Amino acid sequence: MRAGFLAGHNHRQKDEYSNSFNVDWLPTTSTVMHLSTESRAPSVIKEHPIPKLMDEAEAKYRQKLAGQSKTLKSAVAEYRRRYKRDPPKGFDAWCKFAQEHDVKLVDEYDGLVADLAPFWELSGEELRRRAMQAGELPSIDLVRIEDGKSSTLKLHNDFEDSEVSARANGFRAMLSKFEHTLPDMDFPINAKAEGRVLVPWEHRKYPNLTVQDSSAGVEAVLDGPFKPDWGDNGTVWEAWRRTCAPTSPARRVFASLRNSFTHQIKNYLSSSYAGPSSDLKFVATTSASTIDFCSKPYEHYKQGHFFSDWRTIPALYPVFSPARAKGFLDIKIPSHYYYGSTKRYTYGWDAINLELKEVDNMEVSWEEKIDKIFWRGATTGGGSHPPGFSPQYQRHRFLRMASDKSSANRTVVFADSPSSNRYVSAPVPVAALNEEIMDTAFVKAVANEAYPGGLKALKDVHRFGDAVPLGKHWSYKYLVDFDGMSYSGRFMAFLASDSVPVKATVYEEYFSDWIQPWVHFIPLSSSYREIYNIHAYFSGPTRAALEAINSTYLHLPDQARRSIEGDRRLRRIARAGKHWKKTIGRTIDMEVYVYRLCLEWARLWADDRESMTFRL
């Protein structure tokens, strides 16, 4: 039986599997029909989808690089074309700054402009007042620029944060080179990693429903005192679903509140396998902007950020945060983890000599890297409000899948000889696959009392191991990168290494306009089910996969069974990611981003915004 893959224009789906290239890779009915535990005869696949995803992504990225403005005049023209207005005052100095530091992407700021768009509805006076009031709230610091110098102000002292203004101080460091050129203004900086601002849909569409003049104080706008945590009054999900349209399923109380896993105990504790077709789907981008929680409220149980303990702000207040999930109105800034150097988050950081090296002391050559999927981390990933939902948080779901020792099968597609373009698919025992390709484990149980059944239940279905230094990751070819309480602070380090990040996230960050999935990293869906086929394409079949089809290549040693073309393509991603980090993910690029943000913010801050506009 022969089976092929159909292009997404025939199987378009408006879910997380939609992608920016308008290509979905879904198996045909004939692909799925042959898959059974009784049959060991492989099905032939005409064309593997991953090469096309990579080729299209590379073409798209090359086009983006080639189209960047080379002069101030062209940058102004491109700004006007994209945003239908003139750039902010100081744009010429910013362009010169960017040019002096060999910035590659000078036009890609759509995300920044989108972040600031809601604040154009507020007057400069109102924005200044709200910025000050935001700084009075718990877990928000003010970075103030006054007379060309910056300072950090902590106006709320009744609630202590563990990071002690680390993000605010990191932001100050990023603007130190040009702060003397900026007008007086304030930046309310989120002290926490989690998003903070969730404005109900009605209040965005019909602002007259809320108090728009904040002159009476923050309590008048928020309709009462603001508490730092939820306590027994609300949840992030309850606040988030109100950002959806009134006609959406998320606004229908029962559909949004019921736990869809209550009657699925087996799936609740297992790897949540959904049939063979789910293994053969590849995404063209991460799920940051593709999962529609408004139309699929049940999906929210799978993401820990909906269970944060910290209360969100239900009105349009400016808060600058390191990442932004869909529905939130925080303004993105580069993470202080990316900008600074620490042994937990920085590739090449020599903590003894306090110096940054181009090659990490623990880096190994590509040929020496272990052909497995590696992850270590704590059982974080969300709060415990309400408790009892952590089994479905992103890290727990992956670890449970990777720890599965059941008799279930996974459908794996692989080249049936190392140098062949002939691909076959076969059901392979997941227990054997996990043993062969997974090296993943929790290293620390955090708040295990919130897990149903406690620590014992947690350890029964998730592998635990010893903690490792960051440099241990470089021994592996595949580095899985998951959200924690918010974004992953290790992503930049993974990119800087000679390994390949495999990233799943629901967040957008400052660099989201600048990086290309399938060029600089491998995107992973929120289900993670395709990870076995990602490994099979790039690294070739495991022994269990070959046994599943009684392959004649079983006698070959492990090295000889590897996919030559797949390994070449995998290494290409590793090199591209490393090059991106050296040329576009530099600390100076973060400063350039913050500089541009400051100019846009300064215009919004002014009473006369026209006077803060740049014209040639």
Number of other residues whose CB lies within 10 A of the CB of residue 241:
27
Both ends of the chain: CA-CA distance in Å?
A: 65
**Alpha carbons 325 and 510: distance in angstroms, whole number:** 12
Output the average pLDDT for the chain: 88
- Provide the token pair at 469: 């230094």
Burial of 403 (0-12, 13-18, 19+ CB in 10 A): buried
Residue 28, pLDDT > 80, answer: no
Residue 13 — very low, low, confident or very high, per pLDDT cuts 50/70/90? very low
Burial of 232 (0-12, 13-18, 19+ CB in 10 A): exposed
- Of 194, 189, 157, the residue nearest 173 (C-alpha): 189
Q: How far does Cα 541 stand from its chain's mean position?
A: 29
Q: What's the rounded mean pLDDT across residues 238-260? A: 80
- Of 537, 277, 538, the residue nearest 414 (C-alpha): 537
Residues 6+ apart with CB under 8 A from 579: none
Q: What's the pLDDT at 287? A: 74
HEC sequence for 197-247: ECCCHHHHHCHHHCCCCHHHCHHHHHCCCCCCECCCCCCHHHHHHCCCCCC
Residue 226, pLDDT > 80, answer: yes
**Alpha carbons 192 and 162: distance in angstroms, whole number:** 9
24: helix, strand or coil: coil
- Residue found by looking up tokens 């269970």 in the block: 307
Q: What's the pLDDT at 40? A: 53
Which of 385-389, 414-418, 535-539 tops mean pLDDT?
535-539
Residues 6+ apart with CB under 8 A from 22: 8, 9, 12
**Alpha carbons 439 and 46: distance in angstroms, whole number:** 31
Phi, psi of 355 (to 5 degrees): -140, 155
How are beta strands 522-523 and 500-503 bridged, if at all?
parallel
Q: What's the pLDDT at 34? A: 35
Residue 332, pLDDT > 60, answer: yes
Residue 23, pLDDT > 50, answer: no
The β-bridge partners of 186 are 144
Phi, psi of 32 (to 5 degrees): -80, -30
Q: What's the pLDDT at 9? A: 34
Q: Is the peptide bond before 138 cis (omega within 30 degrees of 0)?
A: no
Q: What's the pLDDT at 375? A: 98
Residue 48, pLDDT > 50, answer: yes
pLDDT in tens, 89-105: 999 999 999 999 999 99
Q: What's the rounded mean pLDDT across residues 512-523? A: 98
Q: What's the pLDDT at 160? A: 66
- Of 370, 372, 438, 379, the residue nearest 403 (C-alpha): 438
Residue 196, pLDDT > 90, answer: yes
pLDDT in tens, 553-589: 888 887 777 888 999 999 999 999 999 999 999 999 9
Q: What's the pLDDT at 401? A: 95
**Alpha carbons 12 and 24: distance in angstroms, whole number:** 7
Residue 273, pLDDT > 60, answer: no
Q: What pTM value is reported for the model?
A: 0.90
Residue 323 — very low, low, confident or very high, per pLDDT cuts 50/70/90? very high
- Provide the token pair at 592: 């350039």
Residue 7, pLDDT > 90, answer: no
- Provide the token pair at 523: 């995107």
Q: What's the pLDDT at 91? A: 98
DSSP state of 503: E
Instruction: Return the percentage of the chain with pLDDT > 70, whole number.
Output: 88
Q: What's the pLDDT at 450? A: 84
- Provide the token pair at 25: 């890779």
Q: Go through the chain and tell me how many residues it has.
A: 616
pLDDT in tens, 379-407: 999 999 998 899 999 999 999 999 999 99
Phi, psi of 194 (to 5 degrees): -70, 155
Q: What's the rounded mean pLDDT across residues 28-34? A: 33
Q: What's the rounded mean pLDDT across residues 512-540? A: 96
Residue 38, pLDDT > 50, answer: no
* Dihedral sign of CA atoms 390, 396, 400, 403 in order: negative
Q: What's the pLDDT at 277? A: 57
Q: What's the rounded mean pLDDT across residues 448-452? A: 87
Number of other residues whose CB lies within 10 A of the CB of residue 20:
14
Least reliable range by pLDDT among 21-25, 331-335, 350-354, 442-446: 21-25
Phi, psi of 313 (to 5 degrees): -100, 120
500 and 573 in contact (C-beta within 8 Å)? yes
